[in-house]
């Protein structure tokens, strides 16, 4: 019986997408840092801590492995995820004051009520997330899949609304004495109210 050799070409070749994998790591780092720092994670106000633990612990490793696996069937999802990475990271520069370092690196001066000592690590995570998403869209996404990347980027306004709601929700949890949420949120709220008070 003659064995049929697999045809080598676009259908069988796998190409890892390192920028997309970096975006997945950035998303995981962002969620992990915000959980560790005491402000919760995306979707937690709506579905709770246990459900978000399950969701992100399962979905982010799958994304990372898909990016490294390089299968053609995963490309639309990876393109969408790259777009969401761009949108998710960019939202932070819309809502918080930032400046340029070395003339080209966006750097948050404040974020999420974090004390200043946490900002270097947080900025680094955001930049990795943003660079991964942009790099994947620009260099790893096929032209026919750019529409999926655009769809991911288009989630930006919804992510911005969610982030603003999340910050208010996390501050309320801190005000209620929930030990899982940092008291830095209360200091940030007091500072904002002081800045808004006419002198």
Question: How many Å apart are CA 28 and CA 10, to the nearest integer?
Answer: 30
Q: Quick one: angle between helices 156-175 and 184-196, nearest 10?
A: 110
Residue 105, strand partner residues: 101
- What pLDDT is recorded for position 6? 45
pLDDT band with cut points at 50, 70 and 90 for residue 4: very low
Angstrom distance (rounded) from CA 32 to CA 122:
11
Confidence (pLDDT) at 192? 56
Note if the pTM is more than 0.75.
yes
């Amino acid at each position: 019986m003659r064995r049929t050799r697999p045809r080598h070409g676009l259908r069988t070749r796998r190409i890892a997408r390192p920028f997309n994998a970096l975006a997945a790591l950035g998303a995981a780092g962002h969620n992990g840092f915000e959980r560790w720092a005491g402000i919760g994670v995306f979707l937690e106000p709506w579905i709770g801590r246990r459900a978000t633990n399950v969701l992100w612990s399962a979905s982010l490793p799958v994304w990372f492995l898909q990016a490294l696996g390089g299968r053609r069937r995963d490309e639309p999802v990876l393109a969408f995820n790259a777009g969401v990475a761009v949108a998710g990271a960019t939202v932070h520069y819309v809502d918080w004051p930032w400046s340029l370092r070395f003339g080209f690196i966006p750097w948050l001066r404040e974020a999420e009520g974090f004390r200043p000592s946490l900002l270097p690590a947080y900025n680094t995570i955001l930049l990795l997330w943003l660079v991964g998403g942009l790099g994947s869209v620009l260099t790893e996404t096929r032209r026919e899949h750019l529409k999926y990347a655009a769809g991911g980027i288009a989630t930006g306004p919804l992510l911005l609304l969610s982030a603003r709601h999340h910050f208010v929700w996390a501050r309320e949890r801190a005000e209620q004495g929930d030990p899982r949420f940092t008291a830095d949120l209360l200091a940030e709220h007091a500072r904002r109210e002081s800045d808004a008070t006419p002198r």
